[in-house]
Amino acid sequence: MIDAIWRDRLDAVALASGLATSDHPRLATWVRDLSDQYNRAAFPVRWTPERIAARLHFFLPRDAMKVATALRDVPLPAGDGPVEVHDVGAGIGASALGVVLGLRARGLSRPMRLQLSDTHAAPLDLAGRVLRGLPGVELDTKLSRPEIVVYSNVLAEVDHGRPEPARIEAHARMLRAQAAGLVLVVEPALRDCARRLQAVRDRLVAAGVPVLAPCTHDAPCPMLRRDTDWCHDDLPVDLPPWLHPVARAAGLRWQGLTYARLVLGEAPAPRPAFRVVAPPRDSRGRKERLLCGSLDGDVLTWVDRLDKHASQQNGAWDDLARGDGLDLSPAERRVGRETVVTRTG
């Protein structure tokens, strides 16, 4: 999705901006430092050239992949003119790049017009350098009615320090005020960020806003019942090999892609019947998945399949990852030999 040519592109952006290139011996230290800031929610981050270089050479490609995969199963914008996208809190452009990559990966060939905004304007110059020159992509300062609005790794910073209930209300109001075909929110897969997003989702559902993903129903979020749960994706998508050395040296993972997401639409759209919301549990002779979706009067159920019942129809059960959507026919607590399991994204 984001091949090695991007290392050269980002190095060219770094050189043009007076920043260190990706072969700098201290890059991994800077990546580690910035990761610690994010994990401690030490906002606002004080931006130094070293941290900006870390963002450019590591977080940008990684976070672009998160945004791109978060679009894997949502309805594509219809029409034939340019797709208009507003990236709120665009930073140095990772999220806008992710939308471009995600829509292209879905086969959308329409041109794209991007608006980037941020309360902190300095990084937007860098974003322009990252995005300018992408085929079929134009940067625009103001769009009248974007089809897609994206907030990626932004809510973690918005209203930081306010009491949690007020913050949840404010985020719900802010997202609800967006008039767009699709509003995509991506947040770190951290407990507090994900649970806040789930609470925002409950407010929006109560206000009648159509939620397209990750939810499979409009009942209160069952992943809020226990403090120890948080809804997030953990996709078996590794970072590209050229990012492995810096990830390894910084003590960060390159295997798998984790994030919490929320996708809002203007109108309801078909959703999968179930989504996997916990790590798969495989034991001797049995594979269990915790599914969010209506089954036997609840919306959170462990469903299993005995290995002796594995068949061609239910083969998709083996490889389901946390975050995958699926349909089950018939929908029962135990997947049988005849049950058809269809992964939907």
Which residue ranges make up the site for ligand SAM (CB under 6 A)? 63, 88-91, 94-95, 118-120, 123, 152-154, 157-158
Residue number of the CB closest to ligand SAM reads 91
C-beta closer to ligand SAM: residue 46 or 284:
46
| Choice between 147 and 229, CB closer to ligand SAM | 147
- Dihedral (CA of 102, 104, 107, 111) sign: positive
Looking at beta carbons only, is 89 or 323 nearer to ligand SAM? 89
User: 187 in helix, strand or coil?
Assistant: strand
Helix 60-70 to helix 5-16 angle (10° resolution) is 130
**What H or E segment, with its residue span, contains residue 88?**
strand 83-88
Q: How far is the CB of 272 from ligand SAM (least distance, A)?
A: 26
Smallest separation (angstroms) from ligand SAM to the CB of 130: 11
Q: Provide the residue count of the chain.
A: 345
- List residues bridging with 257 in a β-sheet: 235
To ligand SAM, the closest distance from the beta carbon of 52 in angstroms equals 11
CA torsion angle 212 217 221 223 (round to 10): -90
Q: Which of residues 124 and 276 has its CB atom nearest to ligand SAM in the complex? A: 124
**How buried is 302 (Cβ within 10 angstroms: 0-12 exposed, 13-18 middle, 19+ buried)?**
exposed
Q: Is the dihedral of CA 307, 312, 313, 318 positive or negative?
A: positive
Q: In the complex with ligand SAM, which residue's Cβ is closer, 21 or 37?
A: 37
For the CB of residue 14, give the shortest distance to ligand SAM in the complex, in Å.
Answer: 16
Q: Report the nearest approach of ligand SAM to the CB of residue 154 (Å).
A: 4
